[in-house]
Amino acid sequence: KQEVTQIPAALSVPEGENLVLNCSFTDSAIYNLQWFRQDPGKGLTSLLLIQSSQREQTSGRLNASLDKSSGRSTLYIAASQPGDSATYLCAPETGANNLFFGTGTRLTVIP
Amino acid sequence: DTAVSQTPKYLVTQMGNDKSIKCEQNLGHDTMYWYKQDSKKFLKIMFSYNNKELIINETVPNRFSPKSPDKAHLNLHINSLELGDSAVYFCASSQENVWSSGELFFGEGSRLTVL
């Protein structure tokens, strides 16, 4: 059974800093991995989807990498802004429409 | 236009009641899901459904049943509600491709409180 761990559980940084969020998963036989953000009281918004054959994906200030063999993914956020404050979740997909979510990293960017 | 919409957003009810949460997506996706997020913010899939098959997470009690009147709707019915059913329920949809389920789009959630 897939287990997903995200470290740190919470992170507080001053505006403008670059930061890295970590995700590790136990079953490396994944089809893809998605990163989501969740704002308080809101649904999840997909940020990036990395196929299993890819090493990284970029969207604006976000860059996600995937090392499938070691069961790791990182989300890099450049030049953080207060609007980036949210909980970030990673979710590897192991097939049959089956995404497993970590419990997330709660990010606070201080103006 | 909201891509995935759920109603109601909040639902407070007594133990033992039966309730439904509705979900609609206007993205033309072929697969819809229900997820449960517990008090520790842990998200777990309950069901996925497309026009071919319903996949049920084996840990979901049979008091929970998805009903899909058409491709754009997947409603969640819950019978004999229990205190432990209190959670936020998220609907999602995606368009499958040959590699995977595709990018998921989530609704804003329905917070169920059972008293």
Distance CA(B87)–CA(B12), nearest Å, equals: 11
Q: What pLDDT score does B27 carry?
A: 93
Q: What pLDDT score does A40 carry?
A: 84
CA-based nearest residue in chain A for residue B111: A41
* pLDDT (average), residues B54-64: 84
Q: What pLDDT score does B99 carry?
A: 60
Q: Is A99–B31 a contact, with Cβ atoms under 8 angstroms apart?
A: no
Q: What pLDDT score does B71 carry?
A: 87
SS3 B85: helix
**Peptide bond preceding A111 in cis form (omega within 30 of 0):** no
pLDDT tens per residue, range B21-53: 999 999 999 889 999 998 877 888 898 888 767
Distance CA(A21)–CA(B98), nearest Å, equals: 29
β A44-51/A19-25 pair status: unpaired
Computed over every residue of chain B, the mean pLDDT equals 89
Q: What pLDDT score does B101 carry?
A: 66
Query: Hey, of A52, A97, A100, which one would you mutate to test binding to chain B, going by the most B CBs within 10 A of its CB?
Result: A97
Q: What pLDDT score does B57 carry?
A: 79
